[in-house]
């Protein structure tokens, strides 16, 4: 059995009435460790376990680290996660809750990532949070489940983008189910819009800093695969404000009784704000990617 679960695919009546469209929600916030990350990371960990690796090492200030820790506990393989100093106490607690070792190092994810790689031995497997083909293949199972449900063919897919692993996986899933023509709307927040700025520049750029509260979107540079896909696939970029993302988190909690973090709120805000990028589509699939690192109290504090 895979480490992830098949998650509910539900039509949202509140959002449908709000936009006049059919809004379908893929609830990956209900994965065992709270986000879509376990799909790809779980698949990768299973491969490395079969290869005989004795430890999983990862670098993540949030959901990827939680997913690696969860996978390691389930597979009886020890895990070390290196997080930057900016990581919240809640995120560190959730990683430790899965019996993983947490090492705090560096002012940014890039510094934590470099340190994590310095720890590797021949018996270790390195779990990158977003740049690994094994992850993309695992994330693609989300679209497989939508196709297998047979309820509709999406006219557009809305998802959030941080490092680009989810985007790469969704495109792979769309292609292998014969939906490669379906446009993907890739949403980022202001202050974390490395993909949108790269597309505008015509090349991969690196942000000087992450200034958004949506820290799970906080990759200064998207993976090469994600950028390359924007050159060959129907991918549109959208950038929303932190305030819009935070508001969407609270509205979604009221409408669907599920708390997500601002990184996920970014995608949902596109629907709540009736963003022009959604105009003209009848069946819209929104990936509710989830996230465990922000509490309702934190979301409200950021909103202030």
Express each pLDDT in 263-288 by its tens digit.
Answer: 999 999 999 999 999 999 999 999 99
Residue 293 confidence (pLDDT): 87
* Residue ending a domain, choose from 115, 130, 145: 130
Residue 113 confidence (pLDDT): 92
- Structure confidence at residue 87 (pLDDT): 85
pLDDT of residue 300: 95
Q: In CATH, what number is assigned to the domain containing residue 122? A: 3.40.50.1100
> How many alpha carbons lie under 13 Å from residue 146 in its C-beta half-sphere?
30
149 in a domain, yes or no? yes
pLDDT at 68: 98
Is residue 2 a part of any domain in this protein? no
- Are 242 and 302 spatial neighbours (Cβ–Cβ below 8 Å)? yes
Is there a domain that residue 126 lies in? Answer: yes
SS3 284: strand
91, 115, 130 — which closes off a domain? 130
One domain for residues 88 and 147: no
In a domain, 179, yes or no: yes
Do residues 156 and 193 share a domain?
A: yes
Q: Are residues 110 and 218 in the same domain?
A: no
Q: Please give the pLDDT value at position 61.
A: 73
- Which of 252, 210, 235 shows the shortest CA–CA distance to 86? 210
The reply to whether 147 and 285 lie within a common domain is: yes
End-of-domain residue from the set 96, 130, 164: 130
Query: Are 260 and 152 found together in one domain?
Result: yes
247 lies in the same domain as 213: yes
Nearby residues of 223 by Cβ (< 8 Å), 6 or more positions away: 130, 131, 163, 164, 165, 168
pLDDT, one tens digit per residue, over 212-264 is 999 888 888 999 999 999 999 999 999 999 999 999 999 999 999 999 999 99
Let me know if 298 is exposed, middle or buried by CB neighbors in 10 A (0-12, 13-18, 19+): middle
In a domain, 185, yes or no: yes
Which structural domain range is residue 196 located in?
Answer: 9-36+134-303
241 Cα distance to chain centroid: 18
Q: Are residues 79 and 13 in the same domain?
A: no
Q: Which residues of the chain have pLDDT under 70?
A: none
- 140 and 234 belong to one structural domain: yes
Q: Do residue 99 and residue 139 come from a single domain?
A: no
Strand ranges of the sheet holding 22-27, from the earlier edge strand across to the other edge: 9-11, 22-27, 283-288, 156-160, 184-189, 235-240
DSSP structural state of residue 31:
S
- Shared domain check, 238 and 193: yes
Query: Do residues 194 and 130 lie in contact, with contact meaning Cβ atoms separated by under 8 Å?
Result: no
- Which is it for strands 101-104 and 184-189: parallel, antiparallel or unpaired? unpaired
Instruction: Count the domains in the chain.
Output: 2
Please indicate, yes or no, if residue 297 is contained in any of the structural domains.
yes
Same domain, 143 and 154: yes
Let me know whether 211 and 259 are in one domain. yes
- pLDDT computed for residue 266 by the predictor: 98
pLDDT for 219: 86
Q: Is residue 1 part of a domain?
A: no
């Amino acid at each position: 059995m895979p480490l992830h679960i098949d998650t509910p695919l539900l039509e949202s009546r509140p959002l449908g009435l709000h936009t006049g469209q059919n809004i379908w929600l893929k609830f990956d916030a209900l994965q065992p460790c709270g986000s879509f990350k376990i799909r790809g990371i779980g698949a990768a960990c299973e491969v490395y376990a079969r290869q005989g690796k004795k430890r999983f090492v990862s670098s993540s200030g949030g959901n990827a680290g939680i997913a690696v820790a969860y996978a390691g506990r389930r597979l009886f393989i020890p895990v070390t996660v290196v997080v930057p100093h900016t990581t919240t106490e809640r995120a560190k607690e959730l990683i430790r809750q899965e019996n993983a070792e947490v090492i705090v190092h560096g002012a940014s994810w890039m510094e934590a990532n470099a340190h994590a790689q310095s720890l590797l031995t021949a018996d270790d497997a390195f779990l990158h949070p977003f740049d690994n083909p094994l992850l993309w293949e695992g994330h693609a199972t989300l679209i497989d489940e939508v196709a297998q449900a047979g309820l509709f063919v999406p006219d557009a897919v809305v998802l959030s983008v941080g490092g680009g692993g989810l985007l790469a996986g969704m495109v792979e899933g769309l292609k292998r189910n014969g939906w490669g023509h379906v446009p993907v709307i890739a949403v980022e927040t202001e202050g974390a819009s490395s993909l949108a700025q790269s597309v505008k520049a015509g090349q991969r750029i690196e942000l000087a800093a992450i200034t958004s509260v949506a820290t799970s979107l906080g990759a200064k540079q998207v993976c090469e695969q994600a950028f390359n896909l924007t050159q060959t696939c129907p991918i549109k970029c959208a950038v929303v404000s932190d305030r819009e993302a935070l508001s969407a988190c609270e509205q979604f909690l009221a409408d669907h009784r599920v708390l997500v973090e601002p990184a996920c709120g970014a995608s949902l805000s596109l629907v709540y704000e009736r963003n022009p990028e959604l105009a003209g589509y009848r069946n819209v699939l929104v990936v509710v990617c989830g996230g465990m690192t922000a509490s309702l109290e934190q979301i409200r504090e950021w909103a202030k």
